[in-house]
Amino acid sequence: MSNVDYRRSVALAEMEALSFGGAEVGDVSLEPVTDQGSWSLRADASNDALQSAVAAAFDGLSLPQDVGQSSQASAWTALCLGPDEWMLINQDRQAEVSLADDAPHHSLVNVSDQFAVLDVAGPQARHMLSKAVQIDLSEERFAVGQGARTLAAKTQVVIRLLDDSPRFRLMTRRSFGGYLWAWLQDASREYA
């Protein structure tokens, strides 16, 4: 087993230990996500050659230009986190990805092991999360497919709205995963 495989297996074991299994309290459910792969891409998306390289490497994926917006192609999602920063996401932590050697200047790094990933869903999920985050999660301002980097319960997270149920996905640093999970469990008791 290579060092990379060993580190990934340790990260998955730690995530499972932190997850405490799923939890459903009334109108809010919490679920750990252990299979999500995440890559940080930094580059100049206004460069047509970069867009072509991304499309070729990621099944036709295009990079959204507006912060907070996402795009999808096949199994890939691209979430724009800044003017030159995207989170590329799929459901295969082990995927080996790279851009072509002739792709314009860029940085593409697998950051899957950095994050604990949690889903928060249910009729009251939006209301409960609005108490934790510092952005407006109302239906008018935060629609399906949108995302943001913000604070949740004093912890930095990347939050995305996956569907209208609503189902939110939160990504936080792995070392804060247990804390955020416990905070969300406690906050969801109000909706039992």
* Per-residue pLDDT tens digits for 61-77: 999 999 999 999 999 99
What pLDDT is stored for residue 139 in this prediction? Answer: 94
Start and end residues for every CATH 3.30.1360.120 domain found in the chain: 21-35+114-191
Q: Is 73 exposed, middle or buried (0-12, 13-18, 19+ CB in 10 A)?
A: middle
pLDDT-above-70 percentage for the chain: 87
Q: Where in the chain is the domain with CATH 3.30.70.1520?
A: 37-110
User: What pTM did the predictor assign?
Assistant: 0.86
The pLDDT score that the predictor gives to residue 127 is 94
- pLDDT tens-digit profile of 105-141? 999 999 999 999 999 999 999 999 999 999 999 999 9
Cα separation of the two ends of the chain: 45
Can you name the CATH fold of 37-110?
Alpha-Beta Plaits (3.30.70)
State residue 82's pLDDT score. 96
Please provide the average confidence, as pLDDT, over all residues in the chain: 87
Q: Is the pLDDT of residue 24 over 90?
A: no
DSSP structure string for 46-104: T-HHHHHHHHHHTTT-----STT-EEEETTEEEEEEETTEEEEEES-TT------TTS-
Tokens in use for 91? 């459901």
At residue 171, does pLDDT exceed 80?
Answer: yes
Q: Dihedral (C-alpha) 5, 10, 15, 21: value to the nearest 10 degrees?
A: 100
Interior angle at CA 121, CA 191 and CA 158, nearest 5? 115
> Which H or E run contains 43?
strand 37-43
Task: Kindly state which CATH superfamily the domain 21-35+114-191 is placed in.
Answer: Probable tRNA modification gtpase trme; domain 1 (3.30.1360.120)
90 strand-pairing partners:
37
pLDDT of 23 reads: 63
